[in-house]
Homo-oligomer: A and B are copies of this chain.
Amino acid sequence: MTKFDEATQAIRVDETTYDVCLDPGYSIGGPLNGGYLMAVLLRAVVDASPHEHPVTTSAQFLRAPVPGPARVRLERIKAGRTAAMTRATLIQNDTSFIETLVTTATLGDVVPDWTDGPSAAMPPIERCVKLPDPKPESNMTLNAQMEMAFDPPTVAWLDGRPTGRPEARAYFRMAEPQDPDPYVLALAVDALPPVVFSAGARGWAPTVDLTWHLRALPAPGWLTLLGSGRMISDGWFDEEVEVWDSAGRLVAQCRQLARVGRG
């Protein structure tokens, strides 16, 4: 069991309740990463489902939970032959922190009937760059869990040269060797810096709604994360993330609506 598997464990209490322990190692400067929290919720949902894979997850982020014990409360909405639907809520101190609607199903290992190519081209990994290690006092513990290699222009905002459009692209894998699975993908779809940083914005960009679809089970190896956005307006922005696996297959699609930070 990897550290990530351990940090996302959900222990069954009864049919509708799971105990979890939120790990301080997934902090993004105070709040815990939303993708990590989704992975925790999905462990409980899949354990209680007749199906193996979380094919769609819609999450609304209400508040930022703190590391430590928490619960996942499940409500089975529909259990069909092809798909089951569950409402899952992350609860800490009797308060709801994340509300999700999840559809589980079982994906086969098939060749797609039709697929488009990636939405953007990536340079080879040896031409990509790592971000500098965060300062210890920043409490960005998440960075140590993952290895990311960025398409250089999309992180030039770090040197004061944003590209002027919302974008972020990187190769991604877990720091502790682990083949990607749906829970790693839950982390991956929310692992990029907010795409608005590249458009010149700063500050914590709280997600309001994040919906992602698991499209195929990822092959071992690096994942490619392609992040973009269509509009920044009135304090809101959309962030679109496509995840491709090492075999060149689209394995996840994600869109969030988030608030622009007050940098």
Contact = CB atoms under 8 A, between A and B. Distances in A.
Interface stretch (A151-159, A170-178, A249-257): A249-257
Contacts of A108: 234
Given A62-B77, A99-B85, A209-B58, A233 B216 contact: yes
A247 interface: no
Contacts of A56: 60, 208-209, 257
Interface in A228-263: 229-234, 236, 238, 242, 250, 253, 255, 257, 259-260
Contact of A101 (B99, B232, B255): B99
**How many chain copies does the complex carry?**
2
A122 interface: no
A12 interface: no
Q: Give the interface SS of chain A, mostly helix, strand, loop or mixed.
A: strand
A233 B108 CA distance: 9
Interface of A: 55-56, 58, 60, 62-63, 77-78, 82-83, 85, 87, 96, 99, 101, 103, 107-108, 110-116, 164-166, 199, 208-209, 211, 213, 215-216, 229-234, 236, 238, 242, 250, 253, 255, 257, 259-260
B103 A208 contact: yes
Q: Which of A103, A211, A216 has the most CB of B within 10 A?
A: A211
A101 B236 contact: no
A238 B103 CA distance: 14
Contacts of A112: 231-234
Given A213-B257, A231-B112, A231-B114, A55 B236 contact: yes
Closest 6 pairs between A and B when the two form their complex, measured CB to CB: A58-B58, A112-B233, A56-B209, A211-B211, A114-B232, A115-B231
Contacts of A103: 60, 208-209, 257
Contacts of A230: 115-116, 242, 250, 253
A233 to B, nearest CB: 4
A115 B232 contact: yes
